[in-house]
Structure 1
Amino acid sequence: MKRHITTAIAGLATITIGSTVAAQEITVMSFGGAYGASQMEAYYKPYMAETGVKIISVDADNPAIPVKAQVEAGNVTLDVVDLEPSDVVRLCDEGALEVLPIDDLPDGADGTPARDDFVDGTLYDCAVGTIVYSTLIAYRADLTNAVTSSADFFDLENFPGKRGMRKSAKFALELALMADGVAPADVYDTLSTPEGVDRAFAMLDKIKGQVVWWEAGAQAPQLLADGEVVMTTGYNGRFFDAMVEEGQPFTLFWPHQILDFNLYAIPTGAPHKDEAWKFIKYATDTTRLASQATYISYGPARRSSAAMVGLYKDGKTEIAPFLPTYPDYVADSLTTSIDFWADHDIELSERFNTWLVN
C-alpha cells in the first residue's frame, strides 16, 4: 500500500505542470461547516483575489465517496478534494488519485525544505496535508475532580459519573492502552498482539456500564454541555468552538491526545489538474496554513507555520494553546497509524461491536 511519501512510483504518472490551458475555475470539495468556512477565508478568497481563478466550493459528508464514483464512471468534475488519510491510501492504491510532484512544494517560510517542514504523516504520494486535529479528553471541572492522567477517565471510584466515547474501536483502544501505562510509541506494537487487545478491552470493561456512546462529532460537546457526562473524548476543534463561541465550562486534557490529519488530493482525470496543483501548492504554504488557524483550532500541517499563528478570529483569544500541534502537547501525543488500521480494522471493529452488545 502507498502509505507515506516515496521518491518514485513505477507505473504511475505524476502530474506534469503546464500540460493544459490555464483554467478559469476549479471545483474544490471538502466537508463544509466551520471547517469549510475556515478554508474559504484562509485559502479560497485569497487565491481568487490573487489569481482571478474562480473556486467553486462543494460540500460532502465524505468526499472520498463521490471521488470514487466519478473516477469509476469516467466523469470527473472535481479538481481538488479534501480527504482523510485512510481514504487517501485506499484511493491512491486504486489509481483514483493523481500522483503529485511533491518536490514542487515550496519550502517553508524559514527555508526548511517541504519534505522536512510538513508534520510526520501529512505527505503522501497522492496528497498533501493541511490540518492536524486530535481526539482528546474534555471534562467539566464543576462536575468532577481535575483530570491529571488519562487513567482518570477509567477511574469511576475517584471520578464518578458517566463518560462519553466515540462508538468505534479506533481511538477507544489506543486511549485504553495509554491509560493502562503503555507509552504512545508502543501503543500499536502492543495492540498488534492478542494480549494487547485483551488489555485494552479490560480497561474498557471498567467503564462500560457508564459510557454514553456518540457517533457524530457534535454530540460529544453537547453531552458535556448538558451534563449527561462529566468527561468525554471528542475532537479538539468541537470543544474549542463550544468553549469560545458558547462559553461552555470545559477543560481540555491534552496528554495522550490522538492526532489525525486532513489532506488535499486531485482525482485522476480532474478537468483542471494543473490549476488544481497550483492551488494546493498555494493553500499549503507556510502563510496560508497559519492563516487557517485564525478561523478554526486545527494545527497547521507545516512546522514553519507555528511561528505565524496569532489570535483567533474573535481578536482576543490566543489560538496556539488550543492547537494539537502546540509544542507542549506533542511529546505526549499519539499519531494514529493508518498502516495499523488498514491491517486490523475489520477484526478489531468486529470484536468491539460484539463487546458492545455482550
Structure 2
Amino acid sequence: MTASALALIGIATGTLAPAQSAFAGDQLTITSWGGAVQAGLRKAAFEPFTRATGIKVTEAEYSGDIAKVRTMVETKTVSWDVLDASGTTAVVICNQGLVETIDWKKLGLDRTKFGDAANYDCGVPSYGSATVVAYDKDKLPNGPKTIADLFDTKKIPGKRGLWKSPYPNLEWALIADGVETKDVYKILATREGVERAFKRLDTIKNDVIWWTAGAQAPQLLADGQVVMTAAFNGRIVDAAKESGRRFEIMWDAANAGMSYWTIPTGSPHRDEAYKFLAFAGSPQPQADLTHYIPYAPANKDAMTLVDPAVLPYLSTTPEHDAIALHGSPPFWIEYGDELRQRFTAWLAK
C-alpha cells in the first residue's frame, strides 16, 4: 500500500489511523458488475482497502438495474454503500436523487486529475472501458478494419454478435452509413436519422446473434457461432488470456465510456463509503486494476504507473481516443425510452 493512498484515507476521515484501530464492526457493501471486472476490482481495490483500513468489504452484483436502486432508496431499505455505475446510468441516478452529491473536499482528492470525467457531481471516476468489435485473428487474419465492416456481409460473410440494446448499435449503424462520429448524436436526434439507422441495421438483422450479458460475447466468438462480435474490451482481453485464443480488438468507433463510484442515498455506512471513494480514486489502485483487466485509470496520475505492455488494450490511449465514439448520456436520457421502445418493436418484426 502506498503512502499516498493511505494519506488520502486519512484526509477523508480527518486522521491517519492504522488499520488495526478500525472497529471490528466497520463494514461496507460494494456493488459492481460481477465477472472479470469485479474480480479485478477485488484484487486492486477491495482487498487492499480492507488491509489499509480494517473495514470489511462485502460484495454484491447487479446488471445496471436502476429500479432496484430506486426501490431501496424510496423504501429506506438501502443495503448498498457504494455502487459502480457507468455512463448514462450514473447520470440518471444522480438526476433522480438516488445517489449522493459528492463532497470533494471531504474526499481529499484533486478533482482536476480526472479531467472532464470529474464534471459529474455524484461520483468519483473509476475506470474507462469501451464496447468494441472483436474477432478471432486465426479465422479473420485481415480484419475487420472499420465499423462499416461489421455491416458488410458480402466482404466478410458470417454471423455477427451484437449487444441486445439500441446503444451503441444505432450509433454504429449511422457511422457505417457515412455519418461522421462527431455528428452522430445530432443526426440521431432527428426522425430521419433514426430511420436511417434502423434501415442500416435491417441489412444485417438476419445475420445477428444477440447477447445480453458481457460473458456471452467472447463465448460466441470462441464457439465459432459468430465471425465478429460487439464486446466489452476487458472481457475480450481476459478471454484471450484465459483461453490462449488470438482474439483481437478493432478499435474504430469503439464506444468509450467512464464508470463512477457512487454512494446510494441513505447508505448505512456513509463515512466508510467516503473512505473507500478516496482510496479507490487514488492513482495506485486505479493503475493496479490494469494488472487484472485492461480498464483505463480515470486518475491521470495513475497512467504513469501502468505497465507499458497494457497500454495497447486501454480505451483511453491517444490513438484509440482519436477514433472513438464517445457516448452521450444526456442524449440517452432525453431519447432513450423512445429509442428502446422502437428497438424492441424492431426486434419483434
Same fold by TM-score, threshold 0.5 exceeded? yes
278, 289, 292: which one aligns with 2:275: 278
Listed as ranges, the matches of 1:163-242 within 5 Å are 163-242=160-239
* Identity in percent: 40
How many angstroms does 1:27 deviate by?
2.2
- Residue type of the partner of 1:228? Q
321, 328, 337: which one aligns with 1:337: 328
Q: Distance in 2 between matches of 1:155 and 1:31?
A: 32
Tell me the alpha carbon deviations over residues 143-170 of structure 1, each in whole angstroms, 9 at most, x when there is no partner: 3442222111111111111111112111
Structure-2 change in CA distance of 1:122 and 1:153 (3 Å) = farther
Say which is worse superposed, 164-173 or 72-81, in terms of deviation: 72-81
Q: Residue 94 of structure 2: SS of its match in structure 1?
A: helix
Structure-2 change in CA distance of 1:262 and 1:50 (3 Å) = same
Map of 2:298 onto structure 1: 301
Say which is worse superposed, 135-144 or 230-239, in terms of deviation: 135-144
**Contact 2:107–2:275 (8 Å) recurs in 1:** no
Listed as ranges, the matches of 1:1-358 within 5 Å are 24-62=26-64, 64-106=66-108, 113-115=110-112, 117-121=113-117, 123-144=119-140, 145-310=142-307, 318-358=309-349
Using structure 1 for the length normalisation, give the TM-score: 0.85
- Name structure 2 gaps, 5 residues minimum: 1-11, 15-21
Map of 2:3 onto structure 1: none
**Contact 1:76–1:271 (8 Å) recurs in 2:** yes
Q: Distance in 2 between matches of 1:355 and 1:32?
A: 30
Structure-2 change in CA distance of 1:222 and 1:126 (3 Å) = same
Q: Residue 282 of structure 1: SS of its match in structure 2?
A: helix
- Residue type of the partner of 1:140? D
Q: Residue 278 of structure 2: SS of its match in structure 1?
A: helix
Q: Distance in 1 between matches of 2:341 and 2:65?
A: 25
Tell me the alpha carbon deviations over residues 279-317 of structure 1, each in whole angstroms, 9 at most, x when there is no partner: 101111112111111111111112222221117xxxxxx
Structure-2 change in CA distance of 1:297 and 1:55 (3 Å) = same
Structure-2 change in CA distance of 1:95 and 1:353 (3 Å) = closer
**Contact 2:36–2:238 (8 Å) recurs in 1:** no
Provide the aligned C-alpha RMSD in A.
2.2
Map of 2:4 onto structure 1: none
- Residue type of the partner of 2:339? L
Tell me the alpha carbon deviations over residues 211-270 of structure 1, each in whole angstroms, 9 at most, x when there is no partner: 111112111111111111111111111111111111122221012100122211112222
How many angstroms does 1:41 deviate by?
1.2
Q: Residue 261 of structure 1: SS of its match in structure 2?
A: strand
Q: Distance in 2 between matches of 1:146 and 1:240?
A: 17
- Residue type of the partner of 2:97? G
Tell me the alpha carbon deviations over residues 45-82 of structure 1, each in whole angstroms, 9 at most, x when there is no partner: 22222222222223334464443232222233332222
Tell me the alpha carbon deviations over residues 322-341 of structure 1, each in whole angstroms, 9 at most, x when there is no partner: 11112220111112111111
How many angstroms does 1:25 deviate by?
2.3
When you count helix as a share of all residues, which structure comes out higher? 2
**Contact 1:103–1:114 (8 Å) recurs in 2:** no
Structure-2 change in CA distance of 1:61 and 1:168 (3 Å) = closer
Tell me the alpha carbon deviations over residues 93-127 of structure 1, each in whole angstroms, 9 at most, x when there is no partner: 332222111345555xxxxx423x21534552211
- Residue type of the partner of 1:352? F
- Name structure 1 gaps, 5 residues minimum: 1-15, 108-112, 312-317
- Residue type of the partner of 1:100? I
Q: Distance in 1 between matches of 2:214 and 2:138?
A: 23
